[in-house]
Amino acid sequence: MQKKYIDTPNGVIHYYQGGPEHKAPIIFLHQNVSGAKMYEKTILASCDEFHCIAPDLPGFGGSFEPPEIKSISELTAYIHDFIKALGCDQYHTFGNHTGAGMAAELAAKYPNEVLSCTMIGALLLSPEEAIPFREEFSGSIGPSHNANYLQATWDYIYNLGGNKDLKNMNDEFFGALRAWKMRGMIYKCVWDYTFQEFLDNLRCPVMLMCAPDDVLYLGHQNTARYLQNAKVVDLVGANFEPYFDARNIAKNMKEFFEENKL
């Protein structure tokens, strides 16, 4: 696996890459608060078989700091520019939480480019179901002279499942600190994301994955009922499945590709 950078029309994107480059890549899109590093274990478990590319979204990790965003679709447009800068004509999308919505949006908007779409913690929620998510996941605490934001950020990740492994906890903590501006912007608009519209326009094979203790397992279940032809897989690892269940993800990706002759 390699760390790389590429210029895009809007700024530099940092990304991880591994696997046979003659194959159409899987574009891994991370969840809000995290960064592309969350896919490190998944890439290492998959790159013997697949060409894997995981960018830091703008405002995360080593990627450029964008101006204020008012919709997740603005982030998706940045990532499509990134994919075009790589020279990819066809690719697979794979996303987690916010990244799952972006994976579906790319597949819906660019059906001639996207060969398959995999989502962990898909976002299909009714307006009523979204209310507690809006209340719990809204905004972001930033730097302060008393450093209370450090403890608040640590506790936030710890309670989402970061307590299961201190290395993962440490990686997620530093990723969240770097992205404090962008993660607040995302929480302001992610619950208004027109996710169902993208599901209605999917034309490629779809796989839905999630751990039962993931905060978006309800959205995953709703999406599985809505897309009855999708392959559905339970994982482990709370909200950090790509770290805790990487080998199972790689195994199911291989089966999914073989079943659909991808």
Q: Look at residue 183 and tell me if it is in a domain.
A: no
Q: How far is CA 80 from the centre of its chain?
A: 14
> What is the predicted pLDDT for the residue at 260?
96
Q: Look at residue 21 and tell me if it is in a domain.
A: yes
Residue range of the domain that includes 88: 2-125+193-259
The DSSP string of 7-45 is E-SSSEEEEEEES-TTSPPEEEEPPTT--GGGGHHHHHH
> What is the predicted pLDDT for the residue at 119?
98
Q: Look at residue 166 and tell me if it is in a domain.
A: no
Q: What is the CATH number of the domain that holds 108?
A: 3.40.50.1820
Digitized pLDDT (tens) for each residue of the chain, 262 residues in all: 999 999 999 999 999 999 999 999 999 999 999 999 999 999 999 999 999 999 999 999 999 999 999 999 999 999 999 999 999 999 999 999 999 999 999 999 999 999 999 999 999 999 999 999 998 887 778 888 999 999 999 999 999 998 899 999 999 999 999 999 999 999 999 999 999 999 999 999 999 999 999 999 999 999 999 999 999 999 999 999 999 999 999 999 999 999 999 9
> What is the predicted pLDDT for the residue at 35?
95
Helix 166-178 / helix 148-159 crossing angle, nearest 10 deg: 130
Q: Look at residue 92 and tell me if it is in a domain.
A: yes
> What is the predicted pLDDT for the residue at 141?
81
Our count of domains for the chain comes to: 1
Q: Look at residue 149 and tell me if it is in a domain.
A: no
3-state secondary structure of 104: helix
Q: Look at residue 209 and tell me if it is in a domain.
A: yes
Q: Look at residue 215 and tell me if it is in a domain.
A: yes
3-state secondary structure of 206: strand
Nearest 10 degrees: Cα torsion 44, 241, 100, 112: 30
Nearest Cα to Cα of residue 98 among 84, 77, 119:
119
